[in-house]
Structure 1
C-alpha cells in the first residue's frame, strides 16, 4: 500500500507533462526565421534578405531562360525543324513548372512574378498549338500533291478545307500571343530582364501567319479538280453565339438519290457529326456552344465526294461568375463553389483554390457547375479564394470573393483524436505498469535456476514467398496494329493507334461529338467526370511523351503504355483485349 502513492504521483506527473507539451502538437517547430513575426505587420529582416537575394535570383534566372526559349522555339517552327522545336518546347515546359513551384513556395501569388507565371502558361499553350498546327499544315503540301497525282478530287478538296481551318486557328492563336506582349515586357523590365528574344518570337510568329495565309490563298485560287455533278449547300443560323447557345447547321444535297445520303459535317477541319438527308435531300444538325475557343470557326460539309462551300460562325466570349463557400466538414474544412456564365452552369471547367496565395487544390466542375473538396488544414486563420481560367472555353477568367476562415483544433482533422488516444493509452500503460511492479516478488524470492524458454524463430528458411511478375499476355486487336508498328520501330504511330481507339470508345460511351479533333489534354478534360479520368490522364502523359516527346517504345515503355491503356478500358467496364 505504501508503494501506491509514489506510483500515482509519477503517473499524474507524466500526464501533466503530456498536457503541457500538447499545445505544441500541431506546430512542433517553435522557432525559425520564417515564423519570427510577432504581428501581421512585422517580418524579420534576415528572412526578407535571404528571400530577396537567393530566391529572387533563382526566379530571375528561370524567367530569363523562359523568355529566351520562346525565340528559339518559334524560329525552329518557322524553319520547319519541328523535332528541335519539340525538344525546346519540352525544356520550356519544365522551366515553367519549376517557376510554378517557386512562386508557390515564396507565397508570391499577388506579385508581378505570378502574372508572368500565368502568361508563361498561356504562351506554352500557344506554342504547343503553333507547333502542332504548322506541322500539320506542312504535311498538307505533300498530301495535296499526292492526291492530285492519284486523281482524288474529294481528298484534294479536303486538304483545301483543312488548310483553311488551320490558317484560321493559327491566326487566332497569334492574336492571343501578341496581346500578352506588353504585360510580359513590362514584367521583364521590372526584373531587369532582356526581352529581345521574346519580342523577336512575336515578330517571327507574325511572319509565320503571313506565310501560311499567302500559301492558303494560292491554294484557293488554284483550279480545283472536277467533282461529281452534285451540289451540296451549307447554312449556319445564327452565325454567332455565346456559351450555351445553339446553332443550326443545315443544307441540301442535290443529286439522285437525294434521300438517305450521309452528310459529314466538319468544324475546324475535324469531323463533328454525320447526319442523314430526308427524302428531299435536306439535312440539319444542332451545334451547342460548349468547350470551344472564342473566335471564328470554319465549317464545311461533304458527301459522296462532293463538298459544300466554307461557312463560318463566331463564338463571343462571355463573363463568368465564381461563387465560393467554406464550412466545417466531417474531418476538415469543406470547400465548395459553383461556376456559371450568364446564369448557365459551366461543366468540366478547371478550378484552382488557393489559401493565403498558395495552391490548396485543383478540381473540375460537374454537370451542374459545382465543385467541392474537404481539406485538412492546420489550426489558424486563412484567406481562401478560387480562380477559373481556360482558353479552351469561350469564357473570360474569373475569381471568387476572398473568404476569411478560422480553423479551430476541433476542425483540423484527425490529429486531435490521435493525440487524445495517445494520452489515454499513455495513462492506461502507466497504471498497468504500476500494478505489475507492485505484484512482482522481491529479488531474493526468485528461484535459483530458471529453465530457458525457447526463442521464437525470426526468419523462415528459403526465399520469400512470391515470384516474378508475369509477362503480359500477347496482344490482340486493337493491340495488333500497336504491336506491329512498335516492332517496326514506328513508336509514334503505334502509340497513336491506342490513343485513337480509346477516344473513339470513350466518345461512343459518353456521347462526345468530336473525339478525333481533341488533343490529348483536351481529351483528358472532356472525360474528366467519367470513371476513366485518372487512368486516361496517366495514359495521355505517356502517349504525349512518345508521340510528341520522341520517347522510344522499348519493352518497358511498351508494357507501361499498354498497362495504362488497359486501365482505361477496365475503368469503364470494357474488355481490354
Structure 2
C-alpha cells in the first residue's frame, strides 16, 4: 500500500498541473474550439429538423398504441395496468414535445399534431382519474349502506353524478378531436387504428358509467328519500369562464337545522361557510389553476344536497417573452392576453434540454440565473403546464452570454491554492487513517454521492452498507415492474417511474407533472431525498449514464425513501 508521504506528493503534483486551468475551467467553448458548423449543437439540430420524420413517425405510432391500451384497460376496469399505460403515454408525449421544441418545428404540421395530442393527453389523464374514482364509489356505497349512514350514501350519489358529468364531457372532447387528429396523422402516413379504437373504447366507458350511475341514483333515492323539511339551492354564474375570471356561486338554505354549508368542486371540498340571517350564502372563486373543460359543483348542509350545476373553463392563449439580463441570467413575462399568469412555472431550455424552471410573480414576470457554463448559449422559454386552462407557448430564441470569471477572481483563486493544498493534505491523511480503522465496505458510485449534503464520512459509510443490501423482488410492485421493464432500453424513463412514486408518497398533487424542485420544497430537510434528486437530475437532464453499481444505488435509495414516506 502506498505510504502517506507518497500520496501527499502525488496530490501536490496534481494540484500544480491543474493550477493554470483552475481559473478558467471550460475545456470547450464554441468560440475557442468550434471550427465547423457541426460543432454548434443548435445548427446541427436545425439541420436534423429537415429530416425529422424518421424519428417522429415511430414515436407518434407508439403514442397512439399507448393511448389505445390505456383506454382499453380503463374500459376493462383494470386500473393497475391502466396506470402503467398512462405513465408510458405521458412519457412518450413529453419526449415528442421536447423533440418539436428542440428541432424548432413550431410552424410545421408536427406542431399541429403535438397540439392535438396535448389536448388528448389532458382528456386521457382526466378520464383515468375520474373513472378510477367512480369505480371506488361502489365500495363506498356498500360500506355506507351496511353502516346505515344515509348522509354519506347521498354524498356517494352526488359525487357519482359529478363524475358522470365530467366523464361524459371528457369523452365528448376526446371524440370530437378524432377526425382532425386522424387527418393530420394520415398526412404523415401514421397508422391510426389504435387511436380510432381508443375513441370507441372511450365511448363505451362513458356509456357504462351512465348506466351504473343511473342505477345507483335510483336505488339510493328509493332507500333514502330526501328530507322534506329542509332544502338547499345552488346557482353558478357565468356558465363559461376563462383564466382570471371570477366565478360566483350562491344559493339558499330553507328549513331548520345547521347554518353551515359546504361547496364541492369536482367532488372535492372547495369552501366551508355559514349562511346569513336569511339563509343565503355566497362564494367567489378566481379562475387560476384549474383544468380546461367542464366542472361540477354541489352544496350540502346537514344531510341535504343541492342539484349539480356545471360550468365550463375555456382554454385561453398565452404569450411568453424572454430576454437576456446579462451575467448568464434571463428575465421574461408570461401573459394570457393582457392578464399576467401568476405563480406559474416557466421552463428554460437550451438545445432542447431544460436548464432551469423559473416561477412567475404576481405581475407574470420571471427572472433568474441559468447555471450554464461560460460562453454563448441559445435558449427558449416554454410554458406548457396542463394544470392551467392555458394554451402552451414558447418564446423566440435568445442568445445568452455567460462571461468568464473576472481577473480579480482569478487572482483570488490562485491565492487560495496553498490553502487548498493544506486542506487536501489533511483530508487525505485523515481519510487513510479512517479507512484503516474500519473494515472494508463496498464502494458506492461516487459520481452520485458526491453532492449528498451534510453527510459525515461515518454516516456515509453506514449509508453505503445499507444501499448495497439485497433488493426485494418486484413481482407485486407495479412501480418496480415498470422500472425494470424500462431500465434496459431507456434508463431515464425507468428513473421517472421511481420519481413519480416518491412524489405521490410525499403527498404532491398530480405527481406525474411534479418536478424535482417541487419535491425539494415539499421535503426541505430530507437530505437523503435531496441527494437522490440531484443524481436523478444529472441522469435526466445532463445525460449522465449510470453503471451497474450506480443503478443499484438509485434503486436501493428509492426503496429506503419510499419506506420512510409510507
TM-score, normalization: structure 2?
Answer: 0.64
Q: What is the CA distance between 1:269 and its match in structure 2? A: 1.0
> Which one has the largest radius of gyration?
1
Name which of 331, 338, 344 aligns with 2:339.
344
Distance 1:167 1:380, change over 3 A: same
Partner of 2:242: 242
- For residue 151 of structure 1, give the secondary structure of its aligned residue in structure 2: coil
Name which of 56, 64, 67 aligns with 1:67.
64
Residues 325 and 336 in structure 1, CA contact (< 8 A), matched pair in contact too: yes
Distance 1:65 1:145 in 2: 40
After superposition, the C-alpha distances for 1:428-448 in whole angstroms (9 at most, x for unaligned) are xxxxxxxxxxxxxxxxxxxxx
After superposition, the C-alpha distances for 1:138-186 in whole angstroms (9 at most, x for unaligned) are 2223433443454322122211211122122223323443354445434
Distance 1:399 1:368 in 2: 18
Distance 1:404 1:500 in 2: 36
Distance 1:156 1:339 in 2: 45
Partner of 1:297: 295
Residues 351 and 365 in structure 1, CA contact (< 8 A), matched pair in contact too: yes
After superposition, the C-alpha distances for 1:15-55 in whole angstroms (9 at most, x for unaligned) are xxx9xxx9996236545683499xx8xx999x869x95xx7
Distance 2:351 2:107 in 1: 10
- Does residue 26 (structure 1) correspond to residue 47 (structure 2)? The answer is no
Q: What is the CA distance between 1:311 and its match in structure 2? A: 2.6
Q: What is the CA distance between 1:270 and its match in structure 2? A: 0.9
- For residue 458 of structure 2, give the secondary structure of its aligned residue in structure 1: coil
Q: What is the CA distance between 1:199 and its match in structure 2? A: 1.7
Partner of 1:232: 232
Residues 535 and 564 in structure 1, CA contact (< 8 A), matched pair in contact too: no
Name which of 414, 420, 443 aligns with 2:404.
414
Residues 323 and 398 in structure 2, CA contact (< 8 A), matched pair in contact too: no
Distance 1:282 1:457, change over 3 A: closer
- For residue 34 of structure 1, give the secondary structure of its aligned residue in structure 2: helix
Distance 1:237 1:188 in 2: 39
Q: What is the CA distance between 1:360 and its match in structure 2? A: 5.2
The 5-angstrom pairing of residues 463-502 of structure 1 reads 463=438, 466=458, 469=462
Larger deviation: 337-346 or 130-139? 337-346
Distance 1:347 1:490, change over 3 A: same
Distance 1:457 1:307 in 2: 71
Partner of 1:129: 126
Distance 1:263 1:23 in 2: 63
After superposition, the C-alpha distances for 1:516-541 in whole angstroms (9 at most, x for unaligned) are xx54457x59x9699548789x79x9
Distance 1:95 1:381 in 2: 27
Residues 109 and 358 in structure 1, CA contact (< 8 A), matched pair in contact too: no
Distance 1:350 1:133 in 2: 25
- For residue 244 of structure 1, give the secondary structure of its aligned residue in structure 2: coil
- For residue 198 of structure 1, give the secondary structure of its aligned residue in structure 2: helix
Distance 1:98 1:183 in 2: 22
Q: What is the CA distance between 1:335 and its match in structure 2? A: 1.8
Partner of 1:206: 203
Distance 1:204 1:424, change over 3 A: same
Distance 1:262 1:404 in 2: 54
Distance 2:512 2:143 in 1: 32
Distance 1:555 1:29, change over 3 A: closer
Distance 1:262 1:321, change over 3 A: same
Tell me, which stretches of 5 or more residues in structure 1 are unaligned? 1-17, 426-455, 472-488, 504-514, 543-553, 566-577
Partner of 1:560: 561
TM-score, normalization: structure 1?
Answer: 0.63
- Does residue 390 (structure 1) correspond to residue 385 (structure 2)? The answer is yes
Distance 1:99 1:305 in 2: 49
Residues 318 and 390 in structure 2, CA contact (< 8 A), matched pair in contact too: yes
Q: What is the CA distance between 1:72 and its match in structure 2? A: 1.4
Partner of 1:144: 141
Distance 1:457 1:387 in 2: 48
Residues 154 and 227 in structure 1, CA contact (< 8 A), matched pair in contact too: no
Distance 1:183 1:373, change over 3 A: farther
- Does residue 281 (structure 1) correspond to residue 279 (structure 2)? The answer is yes
Distance 1:418 1:102 in 2: 42
Q: What is the CA distance between 1:307 and its match in structure 2? A: 1.3
Residues 107 and 357 in structure 1, CA contact (< 8 A), matched pair in contact too: no
Distance 1:563 1:373, change over 3 A: farther
After superposition, the C-alpha distances for 1:327-373 in whole angstroms (9 at most, x for unaligned) are 323xx2x3212223343322132323455776554433223321112
Tell me, which stretches of 5 or more residues in structure 2 are unaligned? 1-20, 416-428, 440-456, 465-475, 480-499, 534-554
Distance 1:110 1:89, change over 3 A: same
Larger deviation: 133-142 or 175-184? 175-184
Residues 232 and 253 in structure 2, CA contact (< 8 A), matched pair in contact too: yes
RMSD of aligned C-alpha atoms? 4.9
Distance 1:459 1:144, change over 3 A: closer
